[in-house]
């Protein structure tokens, strides 16, 4: 037996050491299922999306189980692993990830499936603990107050000057985003960060020639 045969035999045996008994497979899937449920509830509790995606949350535990099954299959045979790599390389995903937090949970689910499939459940446990604590702590860190949008409609070209005087009284930060004038009608949009939204809105609404006034909050990016 030459060196080539020895290397080939050693290489193949390195991929067939896993004892794929029914008991071991059941244990792996039970552990993966436990972490899949943990990720499901962690996403539901930690995510702060404006529109909660139930289908995406359901997909996360399913992804953990599928990935664990793929890793178990790859460990059983080097031939199957090479074929699996070729088959998965032609898969193309077209779904856009709009929220960075979704990407975090997506990689968490895939990583957990790989780790559990490899029989290293203790790493999944440590990973789940560290990620949960980190996400919880970072979510509670105070950041700059998100600005709001003041929308005012009324009549009279001098209305903008009156509104901006009131805005300066209540806000340290403000910027005019849009102004529209048409046949004596005025529509003003101002980005503000006020000390008292209710008092500001009440004073604007009581201003002469103001037809309507609204303050809108949003969950977008924070302006420092």
**Which residues, 6+ apart, have CB-to-CB distance to 67 below 8 Å?**
109, 110, 112, 113, 114, 117
Q: Which residue segments constitute the domains of the chain, with CATH numbers given?
A: 3-140 (no CATH), 148-216 (3.30.70.260)
- pTM of the model as a whole: 0.63
Looking at the DSSP assignment, which residues form a beta bridge with residue 150?
190, 215
- β-strand partners of 182: 185
Tell which residue, 77, 83, 86, 73, has the closest CA to residue 114. 73
Enter the tokens of residue 55.
Answer: 């289908």
Going from the C-alpha of 20 to that of each of 11, 32, 100, the distances in angstroms are 18, 16, 37
Of 167, 169, 210, which is closest to residue 191 (Cα–Cα)? 167
- Is the pLDDT at 26 greater than 80? The verdict is yes
Dihedral pair phi/psi, residue 38, rounded to 5°: -65, -45
Q: Using pLDDT thresholds of 50, 70 and 90, give the confidence band for residue 51.
A: low
pLDDT digits 0-9 by tens, 134-159: 988 887 776 666 678 888 888 877 88
What does the pLDDT read at residue 121? 86
């Amino acid at each position: 037996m030459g060196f080539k045969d020895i290397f080939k035999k050693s290489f193949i045996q390195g991929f067939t050491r896993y004892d794929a008994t029914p008991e071991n497979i059941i244990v792996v899937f039970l552990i993966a299922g436990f972490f899949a449920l943990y990720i499901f509830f962690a996403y539901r509790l930690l995510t702060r999306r404006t529109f909660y995606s139930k289908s995406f949350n359901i997909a996360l535990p399913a992804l953990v189980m599928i990935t664990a099954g793929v890793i178990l299959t790859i460990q059983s045979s080097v031939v199957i692993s090479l074929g699996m790599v070729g088959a998965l390389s032609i898969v193309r995903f077209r779904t856009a990830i709009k929220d960075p937090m979704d990407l975090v949970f997506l990689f968490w689910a895939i990583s957990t499936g790989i780790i559990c499939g490899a029989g290293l459940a203790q790493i999944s446990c440590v990973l789940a603990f560290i990620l949960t604590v980190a996400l919880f702590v970072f979510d509670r860190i105070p950041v700059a107050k998100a600005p709001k949008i003041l929308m005012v409609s009324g009549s009279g070209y001098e209305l903008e000057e009156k509104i901006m005087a009131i805005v300066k009284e209540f806000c340290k930060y403000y910027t005019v985003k849009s102004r529209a004038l048409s046949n004596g009608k005025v529509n003003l949009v101002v980005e503000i960060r006020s000390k008292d939204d209710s008092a500001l809105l009440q004073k604007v609404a009581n201003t002469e020639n103001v037809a309507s006034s609204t303050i809108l909050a949003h969950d977008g990016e924070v302006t420092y």
